[in-house]
Amino acid sequence: MKQATQIEWIRNTLTDYKKISRNECLRRYITRLGARIVDLKNEGMDITGKWETYSDGSKDYVYYLREANKLF
* Tens-place pLDDT, residues 13-54: 999 999 999 999 999 999 999 999 999 999 999 999 999 999
Is 14 within 8 Å of 4 (Cβ atoms)? no
- Dihedrals phi, psi of 66, to nearest 5 degrees: -85, 140
Residue 28's Cβ-side half-sphere holds a number of Cα atoms within 13 Å equal to 16
* pTM for this model (two decimals): 0.84
Q: Sorting pLDDT into bands at 50, 70 and 90, what band is 67?
A: confident
Alpha carbons 69 and 10: distance in angstroms, whole number:
22
